[in-house]
Each structure stands twice: as C-alpha cells, then as structure tokens.
Amino acid sequence: QVQLVQSGAEVKKPGASVKISCKASGYTFSNYAIHWVRQAPGQRLEWMGCIKVGNGDTQYSEHFQDRVTIIRDTSASTAYMELSSLRSEDTAVYYCVRGNGPGSWLFDNWGQGSLVTVSS
Amino acid sequence: DFVMTQSPDSLAVSLGERATINCKSSQSLLSSSNNKNYLAWFQQKPGQPPKVLISWASTRESGVPDRFSGSGSGTDFTLTISSLQAEDVADYYCQQYHSSPITFGQGTRLEIK
C-alpha cells in the first residue's frame, strides 16, 4: 500500500534551517507529485509548495518563496523540504502529501507529519 | 490568493442526524475547460493527518462511507453527513486546488450533541 514516512520531530533555534524527509513506498515514486503542507497550532492548513518528482520541477507558495526548497532523490524514493530562517511562527506540524498524478494538485495520501518547534 | 471561508466554525449534531458544513470561495473554482470544480473536502481526527473525503466537489473517494456527500459549484459548496456516527467527530476542511497557492478553509469542528 502507499506509504509516506516522514522524519522525526525537530527543535530548532530562530534563524536556523530544518530539513524534513519523506520516504515513499508502495508505488512508482516518479509518477506522482509530492506536496508539502503545514499546520501551525490554531491555524489553518497551509500549502508550501510541490515537486513534480519525474522531472524535478518545483512550485512554491509566494508566502514561502525565499525560504523553502523542495528536492527529491529518486534513487531513494525520498522527497525533502528545507525551510530556512526559522522563526517562532514556523512552529508547526509539516506534512508531505502525494498528488494523484505527475503534476497533480489533487491530494491523496499523507505522511504522518513531522513536528518542528522553533524556540530559543 | 483564493480565500476559503467555512461556516460554521463548530457544529454539534445528535447521533443519526444530518450535519452540514459550508465552504465559500472568494473566486470561482469552476474550470471552463473541463466543467469541473476544483474543490476537495478533508476530515482530520486528533493526532492524525487529514484524509480526503471528496474531490471535484462531489466525487466521494474510495472507501468513504456514502453518508458523506459533497455538492455545490462555482463559489459555494457543502459537505453533508446524512446520519452522523460517533466516528465522524473530527475537524473538516475544504480546499481549493484551482489556482496557486492551494488554499484551505479555516476548518469546522464537528461534535456530538
């Protein structure tokens, strides 16, 4: 079955960067997009960006344009999201989500989430 | 950005009764090229990631009970649970995937009365 397994919780200081991994299994990794969505306490879900795994093309939300980088390693069936210049407002659960096609924005399977805490 | 606004923010319904959640988009989600509405509904239970219930405004995902249904077009959409079950207690979110950035409603918390 389709599974997205994310890396564990992180605690970071303001100004630092965090890199979260998302390992896919149960399907052909290159045939589907991977999106990143975060959920801060008491806030609505927020889309950060996505990668077309097949060709590596990325699209980012302008709200994170300068701070987020999404890459993939097809040999490891793993996608990564790095967020830089962290601030307290970035404390959230970060999810990777599969799009149901190569460039699809329609979500199907979600990772379990990775809690990132930003605190001095 | 497409702003998604849900109503109500919270809802308490008796077991077996109907629950209705509304979602309004600031712009139309109907594509003229394929006549589809780019609107999805998600259910999120505590400590779990969201789970997709409905896509294209009214297409129920595989395995989703038929008591869940979606309707609407353009800017106004509804998620209906025809007969509330205890396991339906959760937060519900609408999402538009018509235009970047993908955006979500603020969520509706559904509880048992």
CB contact under 8 A, B101 and A61: yes
Q: Is the pLDDT of residue A75 over 90?
A: yes
Q: What is the pLDDT of residue A104?
A: 85
Q: What is the pLDDT of residue A39?
A: 97
A residues 59..78 contacting B (CB < 8 A): 59, 61-63
Mean pLDDT of B1-29: 97
Nearest to A99 by CA among A39, A62, A57: A57
Provide the mean pLDDT of chain A: 95
Lateral strand order in the sheet of B4-7: B4-7, B19-25, B76-81, B68-73
Cβ atoms < 10 Å from Cβ of B100: 16
Nearest to A44 among B51, B97, B106 (CB): B106
The 10s digit of each residue's pLDDT in A43-71 is 999 999 999 999 999 999 999 878 999 99
Phi, psi values for residue B72, rounded to 5°: 110, 170
Contacts of B104 in chain A (CB under 8 A): 44-47
Classify the C-alpha dihedral A117-A4-B97-B51 as positive or negative.
Answer: negative
Q: Is any Cβ of chain B less than 8 angstroms from the Cβ of A111? A: yes
Query: Checking DSSP bridges between strand B108-112 and strand B10-13, what pairing results, if any?
Result: parallel
Q: Is any Cβ of chain B less than 8 angstroms from the Cβ of A5? A: no
Mean pLDDT of B90-101: 96
- What angle is formed at CA A96 by the lines to CA A93 and CA A97, rounded to 5 degrees? 125
Q: Is any Cβ of chain B less than 8 angstroms from the Cβ of A113? A: yes
Q: What is the pLDDT of residue B80?
A: 98
Burial of A27 (0-12, 13-18, 19+ CB in 10 A): middle
Over the range A59-68, which residues count as b (16 or more CB within 10 Å of their CB) and which as e? Answer: bbbeebeebb
Chain A CA closest to residue B52: A108
How is residue A79 written in tokens?
Answer: 């996608």
Most A-contacting residue of B42, B102, B104 (CB-CB within 10 A), to test interface: B102
- Decide if B39 contacts B29 (C-beta within 8 A): yes
Q: What is the pLDDT of residue A103?
A: 78
Please report, as a single letter, which amino acid is at residue B83.
Answer: S
Q: How far apart are CA A34 and CA A103, in angstroms?
A: 9
Residue B41 to residues A18, A39, A103: CA-CA distances in angstroms?
30, 16, 20
Contacts of A94 in chain B (CB under 8 A): none
Contacts of B52 in chain A (CB under 8 A): 107-108
The 10s digit of each residue's pLDDT in B16-75 is 999 999 999 999 999 999 999 999 999 999 999 999 999 999 999 999 999 999 999 999
